[in-house]
Amino acid sequence: MSTTPEPPTAQIVHVGRQPLYNHAGDVVGYELLFRGGGSEIEASRRNAYATSQVIVNAFTEFGLRELVGNHTCFINLTREFIVGELALPFEPGQVVLEILETVEMDDDAIAGVTRLVEQGYPIALDDFVFGLGHEKLLDIASYVKIDVLDSDMERIASVVAACRQYPGIKLVAEKVETPEHTMLAHELGFELFQGYALSRTQVVSIATLAPSRLRRLELLGALTGPDADLDHVVSIVTSDPALSFRVLRATNAVASGLTRRVSSVHEAVVMLGGRRIREWVTLMLVSDIAEAAEDQLSTTMARARLCQTIAPRLDASADSAFTVGLLWGVADVLGVPVADLVASLPLADDVVDALVNGAGSLGEVLSMVRGYEEADASVLTHPKVSPADLAKAYLSAVGWSVRTVHGVLRASDSV
């Protein structure tokens, strides 16, 4: 009987980031690009897989604000997203959608781009030239990117002049690789500039957890029907620490400007809503299509479950306690300070205080679980939780974690 080697519990994900500059030399935006490795200079893919990975990593791993701050970011869009075969899981706002020159501009594509613009997404026409059909989009485009590496200066000047007939368009000079290119772009009146003469693409990397593909498939199935069972959805999300973390992070895409913070995965699911979670999960499946077998995260699961189980005895929310235990475990697996981890999540103050300062009833829950794991005898004298109750809750949590993980592995063997 053959066995599949287990991958490490943490994986490294990468995003390429190339700045766009204005006339004053200030960074005004970033183009986010697919990178398969930290040393990759050029993108090895420009397909739906690459776009999906960029979106998932930018929003749910790095966090868009951490990656680009308040700047606009440009993301390449392939035909699958344009015609609606894959949904964009984020709201209009900070992202400019780049329509690749390789996308055939047939009726379906034109209708798809028009629909995206009507929904509020600004678009940029990438590597723009006349004759490919993309000129049909000039009246709804916000940006046009023109390659100035081309030695035909008359052609570049004529394209610029034609685009100037559309006053709502900002022109971006791309592939600005020499001082001569920079001078030409300024002379022709480009508003924005991008290229190696200004700044090379920086590859940004971060350690993260590898989510269970099977759990994502299960979640997608649970969300397919018109009347999704919220409790069932939450149970699937909370059965996978990586998936829980991504869902919590994804709430940043809808929580911008809101004062409300979430205190549990349950609240995050409610905030996102079934349709938006389904879109994120679909994109996660596409972006991780080459993912290896799932790894065991039973220790993290047992910690979260134990926190959840004893929370009511300490007058704490069970859902919030699960989230506290989960994020503590995620930080442990990734080897990052928990304060750094929670700083990028829209968490309620009591959850943050518990994790960072050990404060409040949730902090008391975390302290008890940590003490029990470290064989600290002081936790056995707590007036509200007897040693027998704590031992029983621990064994129950470990059993639940083992059943959850083994259930995933058994099902994985059959797909």
CATH number of the domain enclosing 380: 1.10.3210.10
Instruction: Using the structure block, give the residue that is written with the tokens 């592939």.
Output: 175
**Inside any domain, residue 216:** no
349 pLDDT higher than 70 = yes
35 pLDDT higher than 60 = yes
Contact between 303 and 238 under an 8 Å Cβ cutoff? The reply is no
Domain boundary among 144, 178, 205: 205
Q: Residue 36: its pLDDT value, please?
A: 61
**Inside any domain, residue 20:** yes
**Inside any domain, residue 2:** no
**Inside any domain, residue 244:** yes
Residues 249 and 185 reside in one and the same domain: no
Report the range out of 21-25, 127-131, 254-258 with the highest average pLDDT: 21-25
Contact between 357 and 368 under an 8 Å Cβ cutoff? The reply is no
Written as six digits, the tokens of 316 are 């704490």
Beta strands of 38-131 (E only): which ranges?
72-77, 95-99, 123-125
The domain total for the chain is: 2
Residues 184 and 259 reside in one and the same domain: no
| CA contacts within 13 A on the Cβ side of 205 | 11
Residues 55 and 200 reside in one and the same domain: yes
Residues 171 and 315 reside in one and the same domain: no
**Inside any domain, residue 253:** yes
Residues 199 and 330 reside in one and the same domain: no
What is the pLDDT confidence band of residue 37, given thresholds at 50, 70 and 90? low
Residues 78 and 128 reside in one and the same domain: yes
Q: Which domain holds residue 261?
A: 224-413
Contact between 77 and 97 under an 8 Å Cβ cutoff? The reply is yes
Q: Residue 27: its pLDDT value, please?
A: 93
Indicate the range of 24-38, 39-53, 209-223, 367-381 predicted with least confidence.
Answer: 39-53
Q: Residue 363: its pLDDT value, please?
A: 93
Contact between 294 and 302 under an 8 Å Cβ cutoff? The reply is no
Phi, psi of 30 (to 5 degrees): -135, 140
Report pLDDT digits (tens) over 316-330.
988 788 878 877 877
Task: For residues 313-317, give the mean pLDDT.
Answer: 90
CATH number for position 44: 3.20.20.450
**Inside any domain, residue 5:** no
Report pLDDT digits (tens) over 50-95.
777 787 777 777 777 778 888 999 998 888 889 887 778 788 888 9
334 pLDDT higher than 80 = no
Sign, Cα dihedral of 388, 392, 393, 395: positive
Domain boundary among 159, 174, 205: 205
Residues 117 and 193 reside in one and the same domain: yes
Q: Residue 144: its pLDDT value, please?
A: 95
Q: Residue 289: its pLDDT value, please?
A: 42
125 pLDDT higher than 60 = yes
Indicate the range of 14-23, 91-100, 387-396, 397-406 predicted with least confidence.
Answer: 397-406
Instruction: Using the structure block, give the residue that is written with the tokens 């309620």.
Output: 348
Q: Residue 120: its pLDDT value, please?
A: 93
Report the range out of 194-198, 272-276, 407-411 with the highest average pLDDT: 194-198
What's the pTM? Answer: 0.60
What is the crossing angle of helices 387-413 and 360-373, to 10°?
80
Residues 162 and 249 reside in one and the same domain: no
Q: Residue 166: its pLDDT value, please?
A: 92
**Inside any domain, residue 180:** yes
Report the range out of 7-11, 16-20, 44-48, 377-381 with the highest average pLDDT: 16-20
Report pLDDT digits (tens) over 18-29.
999 998 889 999
**Inside any domain, residue 64:** yes
Cα end-to-end span (Å), the chain: 16
Report the range out of 41-50, 228-237, 364-373 with the highest average pLDDT: 364-373
Residues 299 and 188 reside in one and the same domain: no
Q: How far is the C-alpha of 415 from the C-alpha of 405, rounded, in Å?
A: 16
Residues 80 and 188 reside in one and the same domain: yes
Q: How far is the C-alpha of 256 from the C-alpha of 260, rounded, in Å?
A: 10
Residues 139 and 268 reside in one and the same domain: no
Contacting residues for 391 by C-beta, under 8 A, at least 6 apart: none
Residues 77 and 175 reside in one and the same domain: yes
Domain boundary among 205, 237, 264: 205
